[in-house]
Structure 1
Amino acid sequence: MRRLWHLLGVAFGLASAVGCFLVGAYFQHTHATRQLQQLVQQDVYAYYISPKIFAAYARADPQFGFFNIPKGAPNHVQRIMKYGFPGLDDVRLYSDFVLSYDRRNRVAHWVCEHLQLANLQGARGVGRASATYRADLSVPSNFRSTLADYKHSGFDRGHLAAAGNHRGQQVHCNETFLLTNIAPQIGQGFNSGAWNKLEIYVRELTQSFGSVYVCTGPLFKPRAQGNRKWSVEYQMIGENMVAVPTHFFKVIMVESRLPLGKPYMEAYVLPNAPIPDQSTLRDFLCDIREIEHFAGLHFFQGIRRSAIFGSNYPSESKVFREFA
């Protein structure tokens, strides 16, 4: 009997030790995944090498997916950024779009989306009616814009990645209302006018062709001061000094459905000002190289420019000629 109790004691001790080990391993694993998740938000290089990290990490516990996200979820980032990052400053990954945040101006440098029919055909009840504007708490507080900055400013909270582009899931739509995806825009004649028409046009392209890549962002265009000198002037709103862009751009790339077909690209620049209703979107077609020059970005660098079918821009962009 004494020997039996001894064996039971040993067995209980071993079970307790194994249990403690498993609990400790679980919490250590959870802590590590959180650290990796934070790392990939802070350093874009971590995103590039993340498949190698995950391959090594998964061997320890195959039940866990990439950075504690369900398996397959990171593929959306690889899909959205298929043709490269326009820039690498403070890249932030969301569930259905990717952006680069400008901490100085409290708006995004750029926002990239990959639109497919599934993005536009949301389930019943999914949409902006259930979403609310809110500050992005993942941004350090001293670089963050808030709702108070926009209150009584005279500017709309304008979407860069449009809410109507992300109706596949409510969380996708909700994230477009984070202030990292918002910039101050003139309301009447711009946000509710020409800019809205451009957003609708992008969705129509998606419905027609099925796969559309869009990069959107602000511009702060310099003005000539004479004697080969230039200056940049723009307003700022709120205590956090959120910059008001002088212009906004959209660079659009439509993938061909043909196996060897070339992609088609268009680029638009609109002034952040009231735009007459009689103006057409084609008035604002722009050479992508002009946008890259003023924004300091490089779009779709994964494609040779010679492999792109047309750009349909005039020899001199009207937006820079008449809306400087």
Structure 2
Amino acid sequence: MATKSTSVYGWLAHLGLTIGLVSALSGCLRPPTPTRPPIEANVTAVSEHLTLGNPSGAAQTDPNNYLITKPQFALCFNKSRGIANWVSWHLSLDWRGTAARTKSFRPDPDLPAGFSTITTADYNRTGFDRGHLCPSDDRDNSPTDNAATFVLSNVVPQAPLNNRETWKYLEEYARKLVDDGNEVYLTAGPTGVGGDGEAGSATSIAGGRVMVPAALWKVLLILPNGMDDLNRIGPNTRVIAVYMPNTQANPNLPWQRYQLTINELEQKTGLRFFTNLSPDLQRALKSQGIGSN
């Protein structure tokens, strides 16, 4: 005859088995626990150089509006023109240093197969400089970063006196802003067709594979050093826009003579700047006068 204690143990064992069966069944009936969706391949983080926006909505689908993001800058290449539509970069003390100028121009290895390969020899005896968009001296914190500016996708045929004087003075001004305690977001590019170099006028070089721009332009947005840059931009944040003809004329003019509003520059280029800012903030910055700059 079973004792009271063995009966209790048997009852508990039976109860445990029953609970286990109920749990198993409820587990089968319960909806599966949601899981994190898989991360898509080829998704990249937003580049710091595109903090203010992508001026042409460039992507890797249109060969004439082709986006390349490098550690040192972001670039939109135009296959049919053989030059960039624009280059954007962030300039701060983190990018400044004492690395020597590389002076080694080369084709851009990040351009897709099938894009025309431009070589440094294509510029020889053309009367035009290999004009940087993102300057060498804006990336002298390391030899690697300096060398990155010498890819030919970051270069356009530029009138020598423009490249070596007025345009150079604007580049130096941006670096002085940084030395004085600021950081600067810049975008630069070419527009139009046909410039004047040392050998006269031309619409293209390299057998027609590289267009000679009619003008070069640049946009600067200046902030005191700090963090959370987008949220520090206000309607009175200082901006500069410049549009310079690509010619040998007037090389000694100060770069300030070529200033215009960003609204005016958008009309000339068809681009849209500061698209990551609110519409009200965009309107305030783009209509900002040029007298105080």
Aligned positions of 1:95-114 closer than 5 A:
95-114=71-90
Larger-gyration structure (1/2): 2
CA distance in 2, matches of 1:215, 1:162: 11
> Residues of 1 paired with 2:37 and 2:118: CA distance?
37
Check whether the contact 2:203–2:212 (CA below 8 A) recurs between aligned residues.
yes
- Deviation string for 1:33-92 (max 9, x for gaps)? xxxxxxxxxxxxxxxxxxxxx98459xxxxxxx979xxxxx76x5322111101112000
Unaligned runs of at least 5 residues, structure 2: 1-35, 59-64, 195-200
Corresponding residue of 2:49:
80
TM-score (norm 2): 0.71
Aligned to 1:91: 67
In the alignment, is residue 268 of structure 1 matched against residue 245 of structure 2? no
> Residues 177, 261 of structure 1: CA spacing in aligned structure 2 closer, same or farther, 3 A cutoff?
closer
1:178: Cα distance to partner?
0.4
SS at structure 2 position matched to 1:250: strand
2:276 maps to which of 302, 306, 315:
302
Deviations 1:120-155 (A, max 9, x none): 224xxx231x34001113323443322232111111
Once residues 288 and 181 of structure 2 are traced to their aligned partners in structure 1, the CA distance between those partners, rounded to angstroms, is: 17
The separation in 1 between residues aligned to 2:72 and 2:193, in whole angstroms, is 29
The number of equivalent residue pairs is 233
Structure 1 alignment gaps of length 5 or more: 1-53, 59-65, 69-73, 223-232, 315-324
Q: How far apart are the structure 1 equivalents of 2:181 and 2:193?
A: 33
Q: Identify the residue that residue 219 of structure 2 maps to in structure 1.
A: 251
- What are the residue-to-residue correspondences of 1:136-147 with 2, within 5 Å? 136-139=108-111, 140-147=113-120
Residue of structure 1 in register with 2:259 after alignment: 285
Deviation at 1:210, TM superposition (A): 2.4
> Alignment identity in percent?
25
- RMSD between aligned alpha carbons? 2.8
Q: What secondary structure does 2:213 align onto?
A: coil
Structure 1 residue 308: deviation in Å? 3.2
Indicate yes or no: 2:88 matched with 1:115: no
Q: Deviations over 1:255-297 (max 9, x none)?
A: 2458856221110011111243541221110121222122221
**Counterpart in the other structure of 2:166:** 194
Alignment of structure 1 residues 37-76 onto 2, 5 Å: 56-57=38-39
Moved more, 199-208 or 96-105: 199-208
Letter in structure 1 aligned against 2:245 = P
Task: Answer yes or no: is 1:157 the counterpart of 2:126.
Answer: no
Letter in 1 for 2:170: L
In structure 1, the residue corresponding to 2:207 is in which secondary structure? coil
State the 4+ residue runs in structure 1 displaced beyond 4 angstroms. Answer: 256-261
